[in-house]
Chain A
Amino acid sequence: MKLFRQHWLICGGTGCQAAGSIAVRDALKAEIQKQGLAEEIAVVETGCNGFCAMGPVAVVYPEGIFYVAIEVSDVPELVSEHMLKGRPVARLFYKEPATKSVIPDMMDIPFFAHQKLIALRNRGILDAENIDEYIARDGYQALAKALTEMTPEQIIAEVKTSGLRGRGGAGFPTGLKWEFCQKSPGEIKYVLCNADEGDPGAFMDRSILEADPHSVVEGMTIAAKAIGSHEGYVYCRAEYPLAVHRLQLAIDQAREYGLLGENILDSGFSFDLHIYQGAGAFVCGEETALMRSIEGKRGMPRPRPPFPAVAGLWNRPTVLNNVETWANIPQIIQKGGAWYASIGTEGSKGTKVFALTGHVNNIGLVEVPMGTTLRTIIYDIGGGIPKKHRKFKAVQLGGPSGGCVPEQYLDTPCDYEAIVKVGAIMGSGGMIVMDDSTCMVDMARFFMDFVQEESCGKCTPCREGTRRMLQILERIVEGEGREGDIETLEELAAMIQTSSLCGLGQTGPNPVLSTLRYFRDEYEAHIRDKKCPAKSCVALLDFVVDEAKCKSCGLCFKNCPVSAIEWEKKKPAKIDLSKCIKCKTCFENCKFDAIN
């Protein structure tokens, strides 16, 4: 047996292999050969050490030195220094990670501490693809109660007591809606779920369907019993494949268990559920258009009345609720309406789920008790604005039907009426946080572009009016705004709001109106001074460095993708406009606001 003076144990585990341990091993062997050390030093491949994220790793015996993140280019140094001269290469040593002294408790982290979970109560806890886990979390207990211990009137009374209002945007009292439908005469009635979720930036409904689809199935079945329906549909956009997949599994498993279908839980009541996949038109989230779409027709709204509770899907009495509304129902039946009503404000009960996005540190899905202020959501839960040199400007609620709330109203609570008072709407839960690099005119233009594109075209005010508004907004951000544009926008907005057929047109001008309310000076600056105060509209930027403000830090120079910036240490930067492609990278990187 040969005696080696050193053993190099290279990890050949999957993690290290993925990080290149084989190449390192081969390079080591080759270098050893080259240096004539093959008789003295052995290279051995071992199994996983458990330091996979630091791979490739190696342990050297007899010294017991532990190297991490070795690259092929390190090999010559390792061989000449460590193997030949006996001087271990310290820069590749394993360093104890700077461990946090105490691991925080989840409930000490503001992101989680300020939340209250009802609709999301099973999030991250159960396997959405396994009905048994839902049942183990007391799933379908509420259904059992509703089917065997409650009359339809008692179910409706419980939901009315809870004060639950529709989470799809309009906030109509859910119990009342069910009552109308229950009282509508008819043998055949339908229960529908609106999972169209078209607001840009919103993902509440998708997450609920992905994490806890049975809560929606259970909620809908309870309503079916309350109104006397035996068939229902979930209208879900096809762009949500995982949600559709998990919901379908949930329906199949519920059917297998007899929780959907004939004679549910031996109660004599029958109800079945189907998924209808929509093609993703925003207007198909509007209730009458949604029903048409399920009927196989083009998704266009019709005038109301008659309301769906009287004449809905195939002209039958129908209850339509949003995904989140449905997810609340089992809890309300199980724990009682009074329990639900004990959470929240006078007019808004329970909790609301928001999809928090934009210029905020913690992007994600949050559920808070009604009455929580916007400031708490953005600063405590959301962790505030990520870029230190930026300031909060406004938060957009309710997507294209909603409005923005500026800094001075951040203490507004989540409450349907309080939010309307400051010029926005609760909406379905989209919450887009914007810092001061956002141009409010351009933001309004974005939503108007969306509304204009999604307008179904059936009614003239919405089809033509939104197009005219968009054209004016586009002119303004291009620097071609004229005196009188603001007044024309306001006039068009009022006309579209009052004469459009459906909610899309009626609420479409809201983003423009609310930005005009709080940021009129920005519109004026664009039109009169041809300036964009947020320095966002490219057409209104000069791309010139303000030498007085420039601190010669060189950040713009380092980040410019086309090398259009000249800079030397201690000298202000200069932009070569012949090379500049107006990508705004320099603006975004400048911490001193020195580029105009």
Chain B
Amino acid sequence: MLCSGRAKIPQTGVKFREEDMAKLKISDLAKIKEQVTQATSLREGGAQVKVTVHMGTCGIASGARNVLNAVMEELTKSGRKDIIVTTSGCMGLCSAEPLVTVEKAGAEPIKYSHMDDAKMRQVFNRHVLADEVQTQWVLAKGSEQ
């Protein structure tokens, strides 16, 4: 079920090595790291916001797919090109899923818990676009490492 449903997931990942798919040499590892960091780091002239929907089986079971669809829809509507939407695995706190991380350039990442598609739209429009952290749903700020 999960696998067949995947076709509907919008492609969010960024592909970094389109050019040559030749086999890597050790030095290429560092190059890829550099390119990914360039493409995903939030900085002037680059991406300004990164939204991560945590999608392990636990997240999906509690509705993360709807949350992802909602943020992709709002992103399209906004027309913004400097916002990265991506997915990732379980954060560990399964009972607070779906979890979403919003990271803005120059600010600490904010983690939202118990999201649904309406809350996601609100977070997108008020926090991602308008800079008002929706504290009522915030779990924490910062990161684990």
Which B residues lie at the A interface, using CB under 8 A?
A: 1-3, 6, 12-17, 21-26, 29, 32-33, 35-37, 40, 52, 54, 56-58, 60, 70, 73-74, 77, 86-96, 99, 101, 110-111, 116-122, 125-126, 129-130, 133, 135-136, 138-145
Contacts and interface: CB of A to CB of B under 8 A. Distances in A.
Contacts of A305: none
Given A125-B88, A363-B95, A105 B142 contact: yes
11 contacts: A126-B89, A130-B13, A136-B40, A210-B57, A210-B89, A211-B89, A241-B3, A242-B3, A265-B25, A266-B23, A266-B25
Contact of B26 (A15, A51, A138, A144): A144
Interface string A85-124: 0000000000001111001111111011001010011111
A352 to B, nearest CB: 14
Contacts of A144: 26, 29
Contacts of A243: 57
A13 interface: yes
A132 B17 contact: yes
A227 interface: no
Contacts of B56: 206-207, 210-211, 242
Given A97-B136, A106-B141, A135-B33, 17 more contacts: A18-B118, A50-B125, A50-B129, A51-B126, A54-B122, A103-B141, A106-B143, A124-B90, A207-B90, A241-B1, A242-B2, A242-B57, A245-B6, A362-B93, A362-B96, A364-B92, A364-B93
A102 B121 CA distance: 23
Nearest to B108: A105
A316 to B, nearest CB: 28
B90 A123 contact: yes
A585 interface: no
A211 B110 CA distance: 20
Nearest to B87: A127
A366 interface: yes
B26 A127 contact: no
Interface stretch (A254-262, A335-343, A370-378, A464-472): A254-262
Nearest first, the 5 closest Cβ-Cβ pairs linking A and B are: A211-B89, A258-B23, A50-B125, A52-B121, A136-B36
Which of B40, B58, B90 is most buried by chain A, counting CB atoms within 10 A of its CB? B90
Contacts of A112: 92, 140, 144
A99 B92 contact: no
A300 interface: no
A132 B35 contact: yes
Contacts of B17: 132
B39 to A, nearest CB: 9
Nearest to A258: B23
Given A105-B140, A127-B13, A258-B24, A211 B90 contact: yes
A126 B88 contact: yes
B92 A365 contact: yes
A190 interface: no
- Could you tell me the dominant secondary structure of chain B's interface residues? mixed
A14 interface: yes
Nearest to B17: A132
Contact of A121 (B33, B122, B145): B145
A436 to B, nearest CB: 21
A144 B27 CA distance: 10
Contacts of A148: 26
A135 B32 contact: yes
A333 interface: no
A199 to B, nearest CB: 16
A108 to B, nearest CB: 8
A138 B29 CA distance: 8
Contact of B118 (A52, A125, A129, A364): A52
A55 B70 CA distance: 15
A128 interface: yes
B30 to A, nearest CB: 9
Nearest to B115: A53
A417 interface: no
A507 B33 CA distance: 46
Given A207-B56, A365-B92, A107 B122 contact: no
A141 interface: yes
A52 B89 contact: no
Contacts of B13: 127, 129-130, 133
B141 A123 contact: no
Given A104-B141, A106-B111, A128-B88, A241 B2 contact: yes
Nearest to B99: A124
A158 interface: no
B125 A245 contact: no
